[in-house]
């Protein structure tokens, strides 16, 4: 990506420094701070080995392989073991991403973990990952944007790098959804799975990189998809436990409708900012919620099925991990080559949504 491409981003280009602010790096010609391009320099993902098939689920709740496959496209999903937490899934994906970047944990300046299934309310899962990885130089924090979390983390990371604050940022979308699923509720338990996807980001002179990110949210629809209790509004009590309020709840039909609309408009906004059309995109990686949502999004964006990457049939909806796992697999499968344009479009609880356009 060239410097001029950067003018199509959501970030301010060459902002004028305020009084007293001394920018770390200045453009000698203009005297203004020079923003840097941001490249993905390493990718990794991890899914736990244990597979739960639709046939297994049909023995647990009143459902069938046919119902799940026709409504969602999901055939199986992965489950973390009881002694594996979200931070463990995140660490494995992170180690693979660092290895593919040729970097050590000590090279990382910042770790951002996107998750709605943290090991515990605090400390952050990112701090636990920092310790487990041995990334002792890194600052660390979590981002909570549900299934949109990976793109939110990507956006935040890009600002730290382009503004010269950090050189190397590790982002990880990681979820142990199985810990928050009501395994007696057929409406939701068939949809989700566990896993993690990670990326290492740096500025690489003369390399392609992130062109733009678009983020959105609508707290007015927060109740459509939520985990009602266990926070400060409804602390854990015998009452919340007996009402099963510590499990994920969802209005499936309304969530479906909102997801399609939001992902289409986020994708269109990214294309418009970059002055590209859908035909320019080699690979679209939508949030892997279910195949009907992805097909509807692709159709409305005018994309062909060949442009759309899916792995939902193998992993189900892994929330913040979904597009991170997808991006890693798409690159390893050769679906994305240097010079290609890649579009991520995401949607999740909050409601939140977003897109990221990357020149590979």
Ligand X SMILES: CC(C)(COP(=O)(O)OP(=O)(O)OC[C@H]1O[C@@H](n2cnc3c(N)ncnc32)[C@H](O)[C@@H]1OP(=O)(O)O)[C@@H](O)C(=O)NCCC(=O)NCCS
From residue 283 to residue 312, the character string flagging contacts with ligand X as x (rule: CB under 6 A) and all else as - is ------xx--x-------------------
Is 190 a binder of ligand X (CB under 6 A)?
A: yes
Of positions 10, 26, 63, 240, contacts ligand X by CB under 6 A: 63
CB-based burial of residue 109 (10 Å sphere; 0-12 exposed, 13-18 middle, 19+ buried)?
middle
Is 70 a binder of ligand X (CB under 6 A)?
A: no
Of positions 34, 110, 138, 259, contacts ligand X by CB under 6 A: 259
Q: Which of 54, 91, 127, 147 is catalytic?
A: 147
Question: Stretches 67-75, 117-125, 209-217, 337-345: which one binds ligand X (CB under 6 A)?
Answer: 67-75
Q: In the chain, which ranges are continuous DSSP H helix? A: 54-58, 65-72, 86-101, 125-133, 149-162, 186-189, 238-242, 252-274, 291-301, 312-315, 322-332
Phi, psi of 39 (to 5 degrees): -115, 150
Nearest to ligand X of 144, 207 (CB atom): 144
Active site residue 189: no
* Cβ atoms < 10 Å from Cβ of 337: 10
Active site residue 283: no
Please name which of 271, 274, 276, 280 lies closest in space to residue 345, comparing C-alpha atoms.
271
Question: Stretches 40-48, 91-99, 183-191, 262-270: which one binds ligand X (CB under 6 A)?
Answer: 183-191
Q: Which of 203, 208, 287, 359 is catalytic?
A: 287
Active site residue 287: yes
151 vs 270: CA distance, rounded Å: 12
Residue 314 tokens, joined: 């193998």
Q: Which residues bind ligand X (CB under 6 A)?
A: 63, 67-68, 71-72, 147, 186-187, 190-191, 250, 252-253, 255-256, 259, 289-290, 293, 317, 347-348
């Amino acid at each position: 990506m060239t410097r001029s491409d950067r003018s199509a981003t959501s970030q301010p280009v060459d902002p004028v420094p305020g009084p007293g602010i001394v920018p770390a790096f200045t453009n000698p010609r203009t005297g203004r701070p020079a923003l840097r391009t941001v490249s993905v320099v390493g990718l990794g993902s991890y899914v736990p080995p244990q597979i739960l098939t639709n046939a297994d689920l049909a023995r647990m709740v009143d459902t069938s392989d046919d119902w799940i496959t026709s409504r969602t496209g999901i055939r199986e999903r992965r489950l973390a073991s009881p002694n594996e937490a979200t931070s463990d899934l995140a660490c494995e994906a992170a180690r693979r991403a660092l290895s593919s970047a040729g970097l050590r944990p000590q090279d990382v300046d910042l770790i951002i973990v996107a998750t709605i299934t943290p090991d515990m309310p605090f400390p952050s899962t990112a701090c636990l990952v920092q310790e487990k990885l041995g990334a002792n130089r890194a600052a660390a924090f979590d981002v909570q944007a549900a299934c949109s979390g990976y793109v939110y983390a990507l956006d935040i990371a890009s600002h730290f790098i382009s503004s010269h604050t950090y050189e190397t940022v590790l982002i990880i979308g990681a979820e142990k959804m199985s810990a928050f699923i009501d395994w007696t509720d057929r409406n939701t338990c068939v949809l989700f799975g566990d896993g993690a996807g990670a990326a290492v980001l740096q500025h690489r002179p003369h390399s392609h990189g992130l062109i733009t990110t678009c983020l959105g949210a609508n707290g007015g629809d927060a109740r459509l998809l939520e985990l009602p209790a266990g926070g400060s509004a409804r602390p854990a009590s015998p009452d919340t436990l007996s009402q099963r309020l510590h499990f994920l709840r969802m209005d499936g039909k309304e969530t479906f409708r909102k997801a399609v609309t939001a992902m289409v408009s986020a994708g269109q906004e990214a294309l418009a900012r970059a002055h590209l059309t859908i035909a320019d995109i080699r690979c679209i990686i939508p949030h892997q919620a279910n195949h009907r949502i992805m097909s509807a999004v692709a159709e409305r964006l005018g994309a062909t099925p060949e442009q759309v990457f899916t792995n939902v049939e193998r992993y189900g909806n892994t929330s913040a991990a979904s597009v991170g796992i997808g991006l890693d697999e798409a690159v390893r499968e050769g679906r994305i080559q240097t010079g290609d344009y890649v579009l991520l479009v995401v949607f999740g609880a909050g409601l939140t949504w977003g897109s990221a356009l990357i020149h590979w």
